Amino acid sequence: MLNIALFGPPGAGKGTQSKMLVEKYNLAYISTGDILRAEIAEGTELGLQAKDIIKQGGLVPDEIIVQIIEERITANNDVKGFLFDGFPRTTVQAYILEGLLLKLNTKLDCMLSLEVPHENLKNRLLKRAETENRSDDTEDVINVRLKEYETKTSPVAEFYKEKEIYHPIDGMGDIDEIFGRLTAVVDQTLERSWMNMVLLGPPGSGKGTQGRMLAKKFNLVYISTGHLMRQEIKKGTEMGMSAKEYIEKGDIVPDEIAIKLIERQIKTHSDANGFIFKGFPRTIVQAYILDGLLRKMQSTITTALELEVSTLESIKRLAARGKTFSRRAYDADTDIIIHRLEQYEKRSSKVSEYYSKQNKHQVVNGVGTEEAIFEDLSQSVSEAFKTIR
């Protein structure tokens, strides 16, 4: 998901550029000014509360802003991202926006600030008042709005500078020139976006094989908690010994162990394009944990692909693997195989539902040739890439 805030004083051209950015990147457009004017025109309770404040050139209280922004966000939860025009205007609103986006398991990717000299802004706004008959664009109100903007919104720039997502953009020139400067920054932001994928599916569904192939094709780091734990066991580490008894029984290893291993791998590959997680999350708690780990890196899960395989097919595959050199210790025990499948069926639906609510869950048929399944998965990954690239 791509989320942009377009920053800039009144008259900087945010409305014009926003519409162009929305069309290019297929985003939902959220303009607090437009929404408030619509609320006023419709005579809603929020509109009446805001009407007098807007006429005086003041900033509408956060209590009102939060309600209208949240309504629009929740009404557009299936889009590829949002473009916020006129919000946030204060550091309090910046924190509010973080919280609202957090509910969608996403974040703000960049703050673009259109820079225009004061006199040019006044001239633009006075001209707009004549052509569009906008009552809030009188000269006195314009001066109040510009002064209030400078006073209250400069800390917002500092807020996003600290997060390293603030980008000042020269707002002088023709529309296409300014648009070119904006899209250049957005495209650079997208290039830096991580592609993080969760590979779901029952034991024996082929997650390991497909995960390694996908990692190679899309230049991602493959993280298998099972493989990492087997390495720890082989080395005889404390974590390995703690995990061993759970793995041998086919049980889920305690979250504390998995977290340490995954976080270590992420830090080791901090320059990666993204990660493929296999074997984690297996529970709804682990799904939240993974979100937390990625948020520390200012990232999130892009897509969750689930390989759909019947229980009988899984048993056949695991039994067959138990006769090969790549067998696991638990592959030779039918009771453990059944126990692992039962564990998966018991907990997996909540994980799938978790990602479905975020419009990130895709089901792929896990039966067929290795090549055919890989082709289907690759297509799903490519589609997911389009949401962040």
* Common-topology check for domains 2-191 and 197-386: yes
How far from 290 is each of 38, 59, 72, 132, 285, CA to CA, in Å? 40, 38, 28, 50, 9
pLDDT of residue 198: 95
pLDDT at 223: 95
Q: Which pLDDT score, from 0 to 100, does residue 281 have?
A: 93
Element (H, E) at 238: helix 238-249
Spans of all domains in the chain = 2-191, 197-386
Q: Is residue 282 helix, strand or coil?
A: coil
Omega of the bond leading into 155 within 30 degrees of 0 (cis): no
Known binding positions for ATP: 11-16, 128, 173, 204-209, 321, 368
Active site residues: 14, 89, 128, 134, 145
Closest of 305, 306, 301 to residue 275, by C-alpha: 301
Distance of alpha carbon 114 from alpha carbon 136, whole angstroms: 21
* Structure confidence by residue, pLDDT tens digits, 302-326: 899 999 998 888 888 777 777 776 6
Distance CA(21)–CA(186), nearest Å, equals 9
pLDDT in tens, 71-107: 888 787 667 789 998 789 888 889 999 988 887 778 8
| Contacting residues for 346 by C-beta, under 8 A, at least 6 apart | none
Contact in structure between 181 and 42 (CB atoms under 8 Å): no
Between the alpha carbon of residue 338 and those of residues 65, 324, 341, the distances in Å are: 53, 19, 5
pLDDT of residue 331: 58
Question: How many Å apart are CA 82 and CA 26, to the nearest integer?
Answer: 9
pLDDT recorded at residue 376? 95
CATH number of 2-191: 3.40.50.300
Sequence-ordered list of residues with C-beta below 8 angstroms from that of 200, at least 6 positions apart, any chain: 207, 304, 305, 306, 307, 348, 351, 352
Specify the length of the chain in residues. Answer: 389
> Would you write out the chain's pLDDT as a tens digit for each of its 389 residues?
789 999 888 888 888 899 999 999 889 999 887 888 888 888 888 888 888 777 777 777 888 888 888 888 878 766 778 999 878 988 888 999 998 888 777 889 999 999 999 888 888 888 877 777 766 678 888 888 888 888 877 889 999 999 889 999 999 999 999 999 999 999 888 766 778 999 998 888 889 999 999 999 988 999 999 899 989 999 999 989 988 888 877 788 888 998 999 999 988 887 788 999 998 998 999 999 999 888 877 788 989 999 999 888 888 877 777 777 666 666 566 777 787 788 778 888 899 999 998 889 999 999 999 999 999 999 998 888 766 55
| Binding site members for AMP | 32, 37, 58-60, 86-89, 93, 134, 145, 225, 230, 279-282, 286, 328, 340
pTM passes above 0.75: no
Annotated binding-site members: 11-16, 32, 37, 58-60, 86-89, 93, 128, 134, 145, 173, 204-209, 225, 230, 279-282, 286, 321, 328, 340, 368
pLDDT of residue 328: 66
Q: Are 252 and 282 in contact (CB under 8 A)?
A: yes
Nearest to residue 306, comparing CAs of 334, 339, 274, 344? 344
Q: Are 80 and 387 in contact (CB under 8 A)?
A: yes
Identity (one letter) of the amino acid at 254?
A: P
197-386 CATH: 3.40.50.300
Cis bond upstream, residue 281 (ω within 30): yes
pLDDT of residue 332: 62
Burial readout 155-175 (b: 16 or more C-beta within 10 A, e: otherwise): ebeebbeeeebbbbbebeeee
Residue 358 is predicted with a pLDDT of 87
